[in-house]
Amino acid sequence: MKTELSLFERTLTFHRFPIRNNELLQAWDAGDEYLISHIEELELTSSKRILILNDSFGALSCWFSAQHQVFMMSDSFIAHKATLENLKRNSCNDVTLLSTMDEIPNEIDLVLMQIPRNNRHLVWILSKLRQSVDEKCPIISVNKAKEIHSSTLQLFEKYLGDTKTSLAWKKHRLVFSFANCTPVPNVDEEVRWEVENEKMSLVNLPNVYSGESLDQGARLLLEHLPSEDLTDFIDLGCGNGVLSIKLARLNPNASITCVDESFMAVEAARRNLNNNLQTQPEITCIANNCLDEFETESASFIVCNPPFHQQQAITDHIAWQMFCDSKQVLKKGGKLLVIGNRHLGYDIKLARLFGHTQVKTVASNNKFVILQATKY
């Protein structure tokens, strides 16, 4: 796997975060190279204020920090961590890290964006750019050409302003826009819906997983959460916090820790727990990579509906890290409750970690299986 990006007689070294043995995926893509080449050819004067949106692992931030003041905005804790580590690795200048819930800084001269997968998140970002960025500031976005549909460009026109595209290069295309559409759109940050049969009302921020409706796996898991007078639990990959709310109602004395790598998920979970619980349990909601830096043998129960992709890549390495971390963080006798698609083979992974006799099937249907692993 290539770790050195060489362009314009400069070489920088990039790794994904977290670093894995036998990593097959690069920490940047042809879209990053296309943006860098395009901007270098413009020969900008130095010290521009550049806003970089959704830099995956920090390649753009590192590159442009050499001559400019960079603000990197992303909803991903992992992107923030990767950017910090790659900045350090290449002895780059500091960059200001922001989440996509933060205000856009004043007097931005140039905006560069990796177009996000989720259209609601895209619309949210476009509307914020329209509200905050000067009409003359170039906004240049990039994605794989096959991901830029005419409907995507219509979103740019509707929520941002004048938009045109480049020719494709290495299967990527640039999108050039200005923040000048009228009227200035006002996009609501929250979408709210009720969870059927649960007396639960959930707010969903623009980049929250399954933010338009309840995830099918979560639906099944809601029916099989334990009522065991738990003292504490962790909701690992909490999304909007739906599982925590039900688990807290079933175990009203438990303290709750919600963890997600999306800043918006963490904020949505915090709002939803506060709005949907009558009791006032101890609630901690934090952005983190799995259970990095959690104390060992500190939790009694962990519930987890793991993700199966990281940014564009389909992978089960995050689920595996979540299971390994859970084993570390659970007390002896503590339990991990997991849901997954049947074909993902989580039973084999959990048996390998916890031991065959420690894993049981709690429930299943034709699509999902719920497994419980007990630490001995």
Ligand X SMILES: C[S@@+](CC[C@H](N)C(=O)[O-])C[C@H]1O[C@@H](n2cnc3c(N)ncnc32)[C@H](O)[C@@H]1O
**How many helices (H) and strands (E) would you count in the chain?**
10, 20
How far apart are CB 290 and ligand X at their closest, in Å? Answer: 5
Q: Output 108 or 265, the one with its CB closest to ligand X.
A: 265
Rounded Cα gap, residues 161 and 183, in angstroms: 10
Q: Scanning residues 80 to 139, which ones bind ligand X (CB under 6 A)? A: none
Q: Comparing C-alpha atoms, which of 87, 25, 24 is closest to residue 55?
A: 87
DSSP labels for 189-211?
S-EEEEETTTTEEEEE-TT-TT-
How far apart are CB 173 and ligand X at their closest, in Å? Answer: 27
How many residues belong to the site for ligand X (CB under 6 A)? Answer: 20
At 285, is the secondary structure helix, strand, or coil? Answer: strand
Tokens of 32: 């990053």
Q: Which stretch binds ligand X (CB under 6 A): 114-122, 231-239, 246-254, 273-281?
A: 231-239
Burial 358-374 (b: 16+ CB within 10 A, else e): bbeeeeeeeebbbbbbb
How far apart are CB 272 and ligand X at their closest, in Å? Answer: 11
Q: Output 161 or 211, the one with its CB closest to ligand X.
A: 211
How far apart are CB 371 and ligand X at their closest, in Å? Answer: 15
Task: Give me the phi and psi of 100, to 5 degrees please.
Answer: -75, 0
Q: Which stretch binds ligand X (CB under 6 A): 7-15, 58-66, 210-218, 349-357?
A: 210-218
DSSP labels for 248-279?
HHHSTT-EEEEEESBHHHHHHHHHHHHHH-SS
Q: How many CB atoms lie within 10 A of CB 286?
A: 14
The residue written with tokens 């925590």 in the block is 244
At 140, is the secondary structure helix, strand, or coil? Answer: strand
Q: Binding string, 259-298, against ligand X, x = CB under 6 A?
A: xxxx--x-----------------------xx--------
Among 93, 131, 210, 315, contact with ligand X (rule: CB under 6 A) = 210
How far apart are CB 349 and ligand X at their closest, in Å? Answer: 16
How far apart are CB 292 and ligand X at their closest, in Å? Answer: 8
How far apart are CB 243 and ligand X at their closest, in Å? Answer: 5
Q: Output 33 or 75, the one with its CB closest to ligand X.
A: 75
Q: Scanning residues 235 to 254, which ones bind ligand X (CB under 6 A)? A: 237-239, 242-243
Q: Which stretch binds ligand X (CB under 6 A): 26-34, 194-202, 207-215, 346-354?
A: 207-215
DSSP labels for 90-121?
TTPPP-EEE-TTSPPPSS-SEEEEEPPS-HHH
Q: For residue 215, state whether it binds ligand X (rule: CB under 6 A).
A: yes
Q: Scanning residues 315 to 374, which ones bind ligand X (CB under 6 A)? A: 318
How far apart are CB 53 and ligand X at their closest, in Å? Answer: 18
Among 58, 116, 161, 307, contact with ligand X (rule: CB under 6 A) = 307
Task: Give me the phi and psi of 330, to 5 degrees please.
Answer: -70, 145
* Strand 255-260, strand 232-236: pairing: parallel
What residue ranges bind ligand X (CB under 6 A)? Answer: 78, 209-210, 215, 218, 237-239, 242-243, 259-262, 265, 289-290, 305, 307, 318
